[in-house]
Structure 1
Amino acid sequence: MEERSLRSHVLDLIGSFLYQEKFPSYPYLREGILDLVDSTSSYREEGEELYPEIFITNNIESVLETLPFCKNVEIDRKSASVKEFSNALKLCAPLSRNGWVIYINVEEKHISYGVVSSEISELSPTFRTQAVGELSQNGDEYCIAYLQNVGNKTVLLKGSEASALICLTLNSRGSAHGLELRSLCSFITRDVNKQYKDISASYFEKLIGNALIIGHGNLIGVVKDDMQNLSTLKARHSDGIYLRNPIDMYELLTVSEEEKTREACTSNRLYSSLLESMLNHDGMTVLTTSGKVLGYHVFVKPQGGEENDLVGGARTRAFEIMKRSQCFECCFYKSQDGNEKFWSVSDAQ
């Protein structure tokens, strides 16, 4: 698609999104969001790739009132123009990490921007979940649009009613971003205590989601947590690192939630960071249906006739072999160009 026609297509898509979300018809708004989409699709600051989360609203005060324990820092307030969207990104992107999210508040003649955080612990739902996801509670008081690069020059634009994946490459992607990850996390927490099932699923979704955004391709396998399945797995996929003492992420997060001590929260944060690094290591990361990390850097190799009819790159073929090996309850794949696939045992039945 030529650059001019791509620009027109994305502008039309943004215009439709703003109409569905009932944003005011400010003349600068559509072009401003287009600049953000273009900039965040491959944003770098001093040589480092950044993946800032941004939300645009027309009533920041009402937004903050709906988010418990919300902290905010206003950076600047300027006369409204398309250029100020780029300024907001440049000034705030380096601050948008560790739970802080960029906000841009739009008015007819002014734009204000800064950063906000609604997290109170490692177990807090993501800002996206609270603002435009299943925990959002905005009514008619304000409009809101969430924007983030989700990999390979693909930007998610999501509101209360509308959602769009804007792809600025020739590779197309599906429109159901997040469904595969949600399915994966439901399997990782399938056999945990019901009391913390929802919290732990949300926790894994946030942690793994962050790893997927900054990574360059991932393979994740989930196995049922019993001795027979674990023995079969290690015998079949033996080339990798299996932890002598698996990391019980579910236990870490429940202790953090119940004790609420600095030591418990720090421990959970450190192991979360470790798992994120494992997920972005070469090879497959293996978790159990009870929220434990079994191993990482596991290389998937074919046996017998498993390689028959396989096509695609190394990670694609590995994903297909994982499905055929009969070791996993579910498998997840993300390619370097951003495509995601999910398979579970129920798909094979």
Structure 2
Amino acid sequence: MNGSDPAAPGSPPPVLSFRHLLTEAVGSFLDEARMTCPQTADSICELIITLSRYREEGAPLFPMAFVCDDLGQMLAQLGGHDPIAIGIGPRSRATVQRALKQCASLGQGRWWALYLLRVPEGFAYGVFRTDPFPLAETPLERLRRADEGSTGVVGVLQLADNILELRACGGLCRHVYLSGARVESASPPEVLDELAEAVTDGVATTSRERARGFFRRVLFEVMQGSHGTLVAVLPRERAGSMLFVDGIILPRPLDVVALLDRYHADPTDAAATAVRATAQLLRGMMATDGITVLRADGCIVGYNIFVRHPETLTSQPSMLVGGARRRTFEVLCQALGTELTAALIRSQDGDVSCRRA
């Protein structure tokens, strides 16, 4: 039609919407999860779309949300405690919006999660307490490993801008990409698993899974921030690299695995505080400019690190998509297999990538 508007002059232009496709896909997902309900499908579709870039007062929020049929059973399954009822409403988009408005800001820092309980009147909603300890599984992690015999729970979590995970029991999962998010890229959980594996590759087998979970959870919280991040992983027993020209190298690498092992052997309040403090320290390091340097034996080596860019990169920046952070990432990637074992970038627009030797 040569770009012409087929509508009559003065009439509203045609509207293109993919919402019905998403609602149909969610409906099929609920059928597989044995939670069939058209109103629930439409409500979860609203939950997905709203959470895709959720903001309150301009600040991004990343609440975990769960739809369930039995609150007590769900709490036992997800490790939740102390539910607080907030409101009730029909099984509709409006109730989902109201529940998020009233509860989303309570669900930050992994302390509380939102629930929507299906009742005859519609949805009874509120929050329940979770365990934010870095060695404790998150409710969504527990749902990921729930067997097929468990039913009646669906979880929704924003993984990155416009990328969400829709999860039920028995390994049933969909990653939902909205607003042009690139489906050819690895999902954020896959990228973080790669980095967590690289950071713990040299850790003793008895401690490796514990250390891997710690790094995975801390890194995921960092990825939800608005700040770009670069991470370089050294081979074990290395204290630095010729790549680094400026920044802060710790006088003695911080042995995270030793702290985790100490807590595992004797879970005192002091040992738990050391684990929490180390998690917060790593979050703070990764929020600074420059590169955070980790090591394949689970040690933190340095932060706020900068590298010298080869002339080929500085003189031909147009060959790379992105700015200084992306060019630095390419420098790190060129050193894989020699100076480094892995490198990660989280750009300010939310894209994440990890490369390993």
TM-score (norm 2): 0.85
CA offsets 1:10-52 (integer angstroms, 9 cap, x no match): 3233223223322222x32122112212222222223432111
Shift of 1:79: 4.0
User: In structure 2, which of residues 331, 334, 354 is the aligned counterpart of residue 324 of structure 1?
Assistant: 334
Q: Is 1:165 the equivalent of 2:179?
A: no
1:129-144 map, 5 Å:
129-131=141-143, 133-134=144-145, 136-137=146-147, 139=149, 141-144=150-153
Which residue of 2 is the match for residue 156 of structure 1? 165
Is the 1:73–1:115 contact (alpha carbons within 8 Å) kept by the matching residues of 2?
A: yes
Decide which moves more: 44-53 or 285-294: 44-53
Give the AA of the match of 2:17: S
Which residue of 1 is the match for residue 281 of structure 2? 274
Change over 3 Å in CA distance of 1:138–1:68 after alignment to 2: farther
CA offsets 1:88-119 (integer angstroms, 9 cap, x no match): 21221121123321111223533122222342
Shift of 1:260: 1.7
Which residue of 1 is the match for residue 307 of structure 2? 300
Separation in 2, partners of 1:29, 1:304: 57
CA offsets 1:49-76 (integer angstroms, 9 cap, x no match): 2111111122222222334574433333
Shift of 1:170: 2.6
Separation in 1, partners of 2:131, 2:15: 39
Q: Is 1:14 the equivalent of 2:26?
A: yes
Which residue of 1 is the match for residue 226 of structure 2? 215
Shift of 1:265: 1.4
Shift of 1:238: 1.9
Give the AA of the match of 2:116: I
Change over 3 Å in CA distance of 1:256–1:73 after alignment to 2: farther
Which residue of 2 is the match for residue 102 of structure 1? 114
TM-score (norm 1): 0.86
Which residue of 2 is the match for residue 337 of structure 1? 349
Separation in 1, partners of 2:133, 2:75: 18
Which residue of 2 is the match for residue 32 of structure 1? 43
Change over 3 Å in CA distance of 1:3–1:298 after alignment to 2: farther
SS in 2 for 1:225: coil
Percent of counterpart pairs with the same letter? 24
Q: How many residues align?
A: 336
Which residue of 2 is the match for residue 253 of structure 1? 260
SS in 1 for 2:117: strand
Give the AA of the match of 1:260: P
Separation in 2, partners of 1:116, 1:305: 54
Decide which moves more: 199-208 or 33-42: 33-42
CA offsets 1:115-150 (integer angstroms, 9 cap, x no match): 22342843111221112x23x2451x5232221222
Which residue of 1 is the match for residue 69 of structure 2? 58
Which residue of 1 is the match for residue 127 of structure 2? 115
Shift of 1:261: 1.7
Is the 1:215–1:280 contact (alpha carbons within 8 Å) kept by the matching residues of 2?
A: no
Give the AA of the match of 1:311: L
Change over 3 Å in CA distance of 1:36–1:344 after alignment to 2: same
SS in 1 for 2:17: helix
CA offsets 1:249-286 (integer angstroms, 9 cap, x no match): 22222222322222221222122112112112222111
Shift of 1:175: 6.3
Bigger radius of gyration among the two: 2
Separation in 1, partners of 2:194, 2:181: 24
SS in 1 for 2:47: helix
Give the AA of the match of 2:47: L
Q: Is 1:289 the equivalent of 2:296?
A: yes
Separation in 2, partners of 1:58, 1:3: 36
Task: Give unmatched runs, 5+ long, in structure 1.
Answer: none
Q: Alpha carbon RMSD of aligned pairs, Å?
A: 2.5
